[in-house]
Structure 1
Amino acid sequence: MSPSRIRTALAAAALLPALLVACGGGSKDGNLLAQKLDWKDCPAPSQAQGGGNPPSPLPGGGTWQCATMEAPLDWSNPKGDTIGIALIRARANGDPGKRIGSLIFNFGGPGGSGVTSLPAFAGDYAKLRTRYDLVSFDPRGVGRSDPVKCKSDAQLDEYFQQDATPDDSAERAQLVNRTKQFNAACEKNSRRTLPHVRTTDAARDMDLMRQVLGDSKLHYFGISYGTELGGVYAHLFPKNVGRAVFDGVVDPTKNPEQSALGQAKGFQLALDNFADDCTSKVEECPIGDTAQNVKDRIAKLLKDLDKKPIPGSFPRQLTQTDATNGIAQSLYSKDFWEYLTAGLEEAYDGDGRILMLLSDSMNGRNQNGEYSNIVPANIAINCADDKPRYTVDDIKQKVPEFRAASPLFGDFLAWGMLSCTNWAVPGAADHPDVSAPGSAPILVVGNTGDPATPYEGARRMVDALGKGVGVELTYKGQGHGAYDSKDKCIQSAVNSYLLDGKVPTAGTVCS
């Protein structure tokens, strides 16, 4: 962006609060900044949020509360239509005199429902609740916040079983055609929402949220894509940043191709670690004699499934795509490795149910055959954010590099770059701008074994935030993110910063 455009954008950002005061978006007094949230007991999650039961009572008593915040649908036209942003909170349970404010969470995706994720993981953040109201939300286009809708559940079953790693021109043409059909369905069913789900829109929603919640600063915990959202927020509103933590850090300097290649390397590293772990134990590894044998057998399984799927969750068959997706899901956490081992054992015997359940989890499908909208929302947000559009010829040229980075995941991630083909909304930029001069310190936590957001991204986020802003903390471990690993060193450092404002020494390493 040129200097003149930057100045124009910053001037517009400065004017937004004043414009909001004057706009009548549906709140009772026509002032979105003055709106009062109507907190009530939370209902059962909607299908777009993943379905299920209302959140369980909080430990020690108390209930989760939900509300809807109104925000401008189009932040460039704050006097226009509004969009409802679904919120959830757990009130602080410590000494009221020591309450700091609200701690807002985004758990990633993009496309994940914070309204359902926060109760699921709240036990991990119980200590933080002593001084904060724990708050999360469904970003626009997600869950109950005007969810992006594309295809029906039955159509999604078919869509997710397509061959995602085409081997010839006919399979490539079929993949392109199905991608175009999916994207056309998104445009048909969500035309109102698609232009307004960029990360910059969600960041502006968070600043409105901060003010409506009564906080002078935004205290924030971002995980995975939530680190990108937090970085964009810090860029737009550096003076409003309070205590913030980024965990499982997205590399903000990479374009979609570079990010996909980085993920190929990251998932390959996680697979290598999984294979080493299985074969290094005292008991016999049931899926291979050596680490290389484990990986060779997985590669053969995927090659065989490309030719002939095996029974999965009736009536669906486990395809090569399902199996690859399920393996990737199991590498997000070391806690899932036992399920990957069991799933591979069964698949070698012709039973694909466990790997299919893992794949369904990644795609947001429950056992009733209903899908959340995590995948449509993920595609919509990424395609609205990312300017590049890749062709079949582009990807054919890149496949060898991806395959060298990961024999198992390279093709899968390379061909995934077709997802924005014929998308209805142009992408905003090659990569996000997270430079945040003047911001308070932001704790940036990188995990050396992270498959989804490789460790190198943490250092690049620190550099991109700018001098004196990013503070790097390293976890030598496995899985996506670090705080939820239960590592005492990591949790102590993060808790000390969020609760007491103690910034750890830059470069601290926990192992």
Structure 2
Amino acid sequence: MANPSRLRAAALATTAVLLSAVLAGCGGSLKDGDLTMQKLDWKDCPAPSEAEGGGSAPSPLPNGTKWQCATMKAPLDWSRPKGDTIGIALIRAQASGPADRRIGSLVFNFGGPGGSGVTTLPAFGSDYAALGTRYDLVSFDPRGVGRSAPVECESDAQLDDYFQQDATPDDSAERAQFLTRTKQFNAACEKNSKKILPHVRTTDVARDMDLMRQVLGDDKLYYFGISYGTELGGVYAHLFPRHVGRAVLDAVVDPTQTPEQGALGQAEGFQLALDNFAKDCTSKTTECPIGSTEQEVKDRIAKLLTDLEKKPIPGVFPRQLTQTAATNGIAQALYSKDFWEYLTEGLEQAYDGDGQILMLLSDSMNGRSENGEYSNLTAANIAINCSDEKQRYTADYVQQKQPEFRAASPLFGDYLAWGMVSCTDWAVPGAADHPDVSAPGSAPLLVIGNTGDPATPYQGAKKMVEALGEGVGVELTYKGQGHGAYDSKNKCVQGTVNAYLLDGKVPKAGTVCS
């Protein structure tokens, strides 16, 4: 089962988009050409593919600017740059301000890994209106994702079964079933995506971004990375420090952690978010409908999950809301304070025997649309993580670590601990213990940590600053809730980021917004 906390809340975006005649699969070659000299054929964006999540073509921005899509050719194997190519799907909204004020292209990665930037950027495009006055707003489907040579594993029906499994096995029979199902999923990925699997590492994507920078006509990369996108930005700065222009890293992944340390940190982070949710609900003047005290709210949720393990309740017909689906749905709602009201409503509903809202939240996390089709979010997420991470954890090791995870979070501990076995039978060896983001000689990167972030705990920002190296990372703290800071619409955060990206004003290290 995919580790849910690694899936960026790009899954929250239900709007979509995408590319016309794209070279989506592996194939083609440009052996005699220079890929940096290619010209992009920008066209109106059609509706997104199933792998991107489906939906309708993106609507213009409020100012009338239309979205355009194109495909960039990149080497399938960066060790053979003159060999076969793949298509990298791109989207842009051209700068709305005067041409003589245009800085360049601002490239976004919204995380996951596995999220489609081509669908996510239009969904949140109006949030970046100020930046769009001086930048072309650009995003992309990273290799292995969406329309960019997508990793394909199982069918929609198989994925329904995969996500219904018990992801917190309690005895030897349940453990054997869980491990067998995980092995089946990984084998399907190898069978259906053998050609692309060895080439979806974060270092490969960083090289794609440097090619993108050149094809877009920029001397420097201007970048906005969120969640996993911060890791990608750090890896880019390590590989190409002299090519960094202005870069923002928001909701920062700790680059020094092993997957185990990251999962444990997320257990603590989601528990903190749950505590804050319970406190918020019970501190309002109106009565909290899911408990009269913080502890009662958490106790009732724990009892619901225990009851669902014994007897699931109706979810989205014909599927049942299982313990796993409910846990997944609760985690998804904790990504953003804006979703706390849906979590409250979903819990009320579940206590009355109806699991529809919690299952819809879980479906959003897993990339399942209302018509039962899945994006390739989970497949790409697992493929990229397993290609990056050298560690391979066994069931015995997870069992040894369960007490530590349960201490970090009684609710999410087991779930996140068992997520560590996702890569155990993966076909491609992992690259490293953790990413290298040291970037001596780079221009300053603005690194934003959110004190209430459940998925990328606040401490990760400080670790990223230290790992980037002296004089490179500049830390900004946001005292808030949710995954990320800029999209909270906090005026201090947005003003600081906009002044940096638009005018080059680097804030004082240690600046705090609340």
Q: When the two structures are superposed, what TM-score results if normalisation uses the length of structure 1?
A: 0.95
Asked whether the equivalents of residues 91 and 134 of structure 1 are also in contact (C-alpha less than 8 Å), the reply is yes
Q: Please name the residue that 2:499 is paired with.
A: 496
The AA in structure 2 aligned to 1:355 is L
Deviation for aligned residue 1:63 = 1.4
Matched residue SS, 1:443: strand
1:145 to 143, 148, 152: 148
Counterparts of 1:88-107 in structure 2 under 5 Å?
Answer: 88-107=91-110
Change (3 A) 1:43 1:28: farther
2:407 corresponds in structure 1 to: 404
Matched with 2:62 is 59
Query: How far has the Cα of 1:421 moved from its partner?
Result: 1.8
- Alpha-carbon distance, 1:141 to partner: 0.2
* Partner Cα distance (1:117, 1:299) in 2: 33
The corresponding residue for 1:191 is 194
Q: Is residue 310 of structure 1 aligned with residue 313 of structure 2?
A: yes
User: Structure 1 residue 164 and structure 2 residue 160: aligned?
Assistant: no
- Distance in structure 2 (CA, Å) of the matches to 1:228 and 1:171: 35
Deviation at 1:460, TM superposition (A): 0.3
Aligned residues: 488
Q: Are 1:368 and 2:400 matched, yes or no?
A: no
Report the 3-state secondary structure (helix = DSSP H, G, I; strand = E; otherwise coil) of the residue aligned with 1:120: helix
Given that residues 325 and 358 in structure 2 are in contact (C-alpha distance below 8 angstroms), is that contact kept between their aligned partners in structure 1? Answer: yes
Answering whether residue 264 of structure 2 is matched by residue 261 of structure 1, we say yes
| Aligned pairs for 1:402-481 within 5 A | 402-481=405-484
Q: How does 1:69-88 map to 2 (within 5 A)?
A: 69-88=72-91
Give me the whole-angstrom Cα distance separating, in 2, the residues matched to 1:437 and 1:28. Answer: 34
From 299, 302, 305, the equivalent of 2:302 is: 299
The residue number in structure 2 matching 1:216 is 219
In 2: Cα distance, 1:325 partner to 1:439 partner: 39
Q: 1:252-401 alignment to 2 at 5 Å?
A: 252-401=255-404
1:25 and 1:70 in contact (8 A); partners too: no
**1:417 Cα deviation from its structure 2 partner:** 0.4
Q: After superposition, where does 1:12-51 map in structure 2 within 5 Å?
A: 26-27=29-30, 30-51=33-54
One-letter amino acid of the counterpart of residue 247, structure 2: A
Residues 266-314 of structure 1 show CA distances to partners (whole Å, capped at 9, x for unaligned) of 0000000000000011111000010000000000000000111000000
Structure 1 runs of 4+ with >4 Å offset: none
C-alpha distance in structure 2 between counterparts of 1:325 and 1:25, whole Å: 40
In the aligned structure 2, how far is the partner of 1:300 from the partner of 1:189? 40
Q: Is the 8 A contact 1:25 1:31 kept in 2?
A: no
The residue identity in structure 2 corresponding to 1:405 is A
Cα distance, 1:457 vs structure 2: 0.2
Partner residue in 1 for 2:512: 509
Does the 8 A contact of 2:264 with 2:405 survive in 1? yes
SS across alignment from 1:53: coil
Which of these residues, 196, 203, 222, is aligned with residue 200 of structure 1?
Answer: 203
- Cα distance in 2, alignment partners of residues 61 and 338 from structure 1: 32
Q: Matched residues in 1 for 2:192 and 2:373: separation?
A: 18
Is the Cα contact below 8 Å between 2:40 and 2:71 reproduced in 1?
yes
Give the structure 1 partner of residue 17 of structure 2. Answer: none
Shift of 1:264: 0.1
1:19 equivalent in structure 2? none
Aligned-partner residue type, residue 280 of structure 1? S
Residues 27 and 35 in structure 1, CA contact (< 8 A), matched pair in contact too: no
Separation (CA, whole Å) in 2 of partners of 1:287 and 1:491: 34
Hey, what's the Cα distance between the residues in 2 that align with 1:151 and 1:38? Answer: 33
Aligned CA RMSD, in angstroms, stands at 1.0
CA–CA distance in structure 1, aligned partners of residues 146 and 398 of structure 2: 32
Counterpart residue identity of residue 435, structure 1: S
How big is each residue's C-alpha offset from its partner over 1:433-483, in whole Å with a ceiling of 9 and x where there is no partner?
000000000000000000000000000000000000000000000000000
Q: Shift of the alpha carbon at 1:28?
A: 9.8
SS at match of 2:54: coil
User: 1:503 and 1:480 mapped to 2: Cα distance?
Assistant: 23
Report the 3-state secondary structure (helix = DSSP H, G, I; strand = E; otherwise coil) of the residue aligned with 1:222.
strand
Cα separation, 2, equivalents of 1:409 and 1:215: 44
Unpaired segments ≥5 residues, structure 2: 1-26
Q: Which residue of structure 1 aligns with residue 7 of structure 2?
A: none
Partner AA of 2:442 in structure 1: S
Alignment of 1:117-156 (within 5 A): 117-156=120-159
Contact kept in structure 1, 2:113 and 2:384, CA below 8 Å: yes
Pairing partner for 1:486 from 489, 492, 495: 489
For residues 129 and 378 of structure 2, the distance between their equivalents in structure 1, rounded to whole angstroms, comes to: 29
- Give, in angstroms, the shift of residue 228 of structure 1: 0.1
Percent sequence identity over matched residues?
A: 82
Paired residue for 2:249, among 226, 246, 255?
A: 246
Give the SS at the match of 1:474. strand
- The answer for the alignment partner of 1:6 in structure 2 is none
Q: Tell whether the 8 Å contact from 2:238 to 2:436 is kept in structure 1 after alignment.
A: yes
- State the one-letter code of the partner of 1:105: F
More divergent stretch after superposition (78-87 vs 325-334): 78-87
User: TM-score normalized by structure 2?
Assistant: 0.94
- Structure 1 unaligned regions, length at least 5: 1-23
Alpha-carbon distance between aligned partners in 1 of 2:469 and 2:97, rounded to the nearest angstrom = 35
> What SS does the aligned partner of 2:136 have?
strand
Contact 2:104 2:136 in 1 (8 A): yes
